[in-house]
Amino acid sequence: MIVVMEKGVSQEKIEDVIGLLESKGFSLHLSQGVERTIIGVLGDKTQKGDLALEALEGVEKVVPILTPYKLASREMQAEDTIIQIGDVKIGGKDLQVMAGPCAVESREQIMEIAEIVKKGGARIMRGGAYKPRTSPYSFQGLEEKGLQYLAEAREATGILIVSEVMDTRSVEILANYVDILQVGARNMQNFALLKEVAKSNKPVLLKRGLAATIEEWIMAAEYILAGGNKQVILCERGIRTFENYTRNTLDLSVVPIIKHLTHLPIIVDPSHGTGKWRLVNPMAKAAIAAGADGLIIEVHPDPSTALSDGPQSLKPEKYMQLMQELEQMAGIMGRSLKPSVNLHKTGTEG
């Protein structure tokens, strides 16, 4: 439920309400706006007795949250969440592109792609050091060595880094190297992992599961939020349907749905969503038109030799073209796609 305090209420009366709720064993989420203070109350009210909160001084009203997800809901927080890492904002009017290879293959490869990504205007580079593959015989990634290459690329170019965390054991290792922790589609309902990334001070990019409903996806985000990490970015990457022409079915309707139901930023992955490089450009623009806060796009200097997901990777020239078109698209949508040349090279805030 949500406790809405009266306009201009004193801090003392707010503390009285907080004290009562905490004494009853509730977990609280405090949101203090310019005019109103809202107290989000988490816990089973039926087990706490009759609180009669509306009888307390300073309380305007008590509103139940009917959805199973509480912290992610628009009822709990009306304004959009904007995640800031250094001078990069995810959400709000800014659009962000996370571009780079599916997998880190070598130091030379990742340094080359980092320069390409920055030149094109993206401010965040993606790259997998630990690779979850369907086949145990496929390339599994360079692991910590790959993370070291990514960190070196960040130092050289100033771009931020996002990479996938595979299990609870690797959270701390990745957090030492990257700016954003990615939880992949296969791990969306790995609840132990969600609880572990919640303990980090890093933003978390949470991809939608292969066959996850919207509610299941938001509930996965709720695990991270309930664990104390408010920096959650949702990522639509296509769902499994009967169609087999594309790798997945990219569900762009989910963008306005997420915007309506939650306050969390959402980006779209047209590379995994389609599996075909020819479809990445039109679906990327369609995602921005639908209201997405950004994109994650696979780029490789030579897709024919890529160790992972070559058919869906853009060549550098196609990536450059897409970024130019996205800048125009952003203007049409009243958004801003800022070039990476404004980035500083001196680290980031987690």
Same domain for 87 and 51, yes or no, is no
Same domain for 124 and 14, yes or no, is no
Measured distance between the N- and C-terminal CA atoms of the chain, rounded to whole angstroms: 30
CATH code for the domain in which residue 46 is found: 3.30.70.1140
Same domain for 44 and 166, yes or no, is no
Question: Is residue 258 in some structural domain?
Answer: yes
Question: Is residue 88 in some structural domain?
Answer: yes
Sole residue written with tokens 């991809």: 207
Residue 284 pLDDT class (50, 70, 90 cuts): very high
pLDDT over 70 percentage in the chain: 94
Q: What per-residue confidence (pLDDT) applies to 48?
A: 52
Contacts of 319 (CB under 8 A, 6+ apart): 99, 116, 117, 120, 297, 299
Lowest mean per-residue pLDDT among 60-74, 177-191, 299-313, 334-348: 334-348
**How many residues are present in the chain?**
350
Amino acid at 280: V
Which secondary-structure segment (H or E) carries 248?
A: none
| pLDDT reading at 38 higher than 70 | yes
Same domain for 134 and 268, yes or no, is yes
This prediction's pTM: 0.88
pLDDT over 90 percentage in the chain: 72
Q: What is the mean pLDDT of the chain?
A: 91
What pLDDT digit, counting tens, does each position of 87-125 carry?
999 999 999 999 999 999 999 999 999 999 999 999 999
- Domain boundary among the residues 10, 35, 63 is at 63
Same domain for 297 and 161, yes or no, is yes
- Helix crossing, 191-198 with 214-226: angle to 10°? 40
| pLDDT reading at 348 higher than 50 | no
Of 59, 65, 97, whose CA–CA distance to 1 is shortest?
65
Question: Is residue 239 in some structural domain?
Answer: yes
Q: What per-residue confidence (pLDDT) applies to 1?
A: 86
- Helix crossing, 144-157 with 107-120: angle to 10°? 40
Question: Is residue 102 in some structural domain?
Answer: yes
Same domain for 11 and 89, yes or no, is no
Mean pLDDT of 39-43: 85
Q: What per-residue confidence (pLDDT) applies to 46?
A: 56
Same domain for 285 and 252, yes or no, is yes
Q: Residue 39 is part of which domain span? A: 2-63
Angle at 339 between CA 333 and CA 344, to 5 degrees: 135
What pLDDT digit, counting tens, does each position of 288-346 carry?
999 999 999 999 999 999 988 899 999 999 999 999 999 999 999 999 997 644 443 33
Same domain for 115 and 234, yes or no, is yes
What pLDDT digit, counting tens, does each position of 209-242 carry?
999 999 999 999 999 999 999 999 999 999 999 9
Question: Is residue 348 in some structural domain?
Answer: no
Same domain for 161 and 109, yes or no, is yes
- Which DSSP category does 208 fall into? P
Higher-confidence residue: 49 or 75? 75
In 3-state terms, what secondary structure has residue 214?
helix
Lowest mean per-residue pLDDT among 28-37, 44-53, 57-66, 123-132: 44-53
| pLDDT reading at 47 higher than 70 | no
Same domain for 25 and 134, yes or no, is no
Same domain for 42 and 188, yes or no, is no
Mean pLDDT of 188-199: 97
Question: Is residue 212 in some structural domain?
Answer: yes
Phi/psi at 201 (5° precision): -100, 20
Q: What per-residue confidence (pLDDT) applies to 345?
A: 39
Question: Is residue 78 in some structural domain?
Answer: no
Query: CA separation (Å) from 321 to 94, 190, 278, 286?
Result: 20, 37, 13, 16
Same domain for 279 and 312, yes or no, is yes
Q: What per-residue confidence (pLDDT) applies to 218?
A: 98
Phi/psi at 169 (5° precision): -70, -25
- Domain boundary among the residues 17, 32, 63 is at 63
Question: Is residue 310 in some structural domain?
Answer: yes
Q: How many structural domains compose the chain?
A: 2
Q: What is the spatial distance between Cα 202 and Cα 165, in angstroms, rounded to a whole number?
A: 12
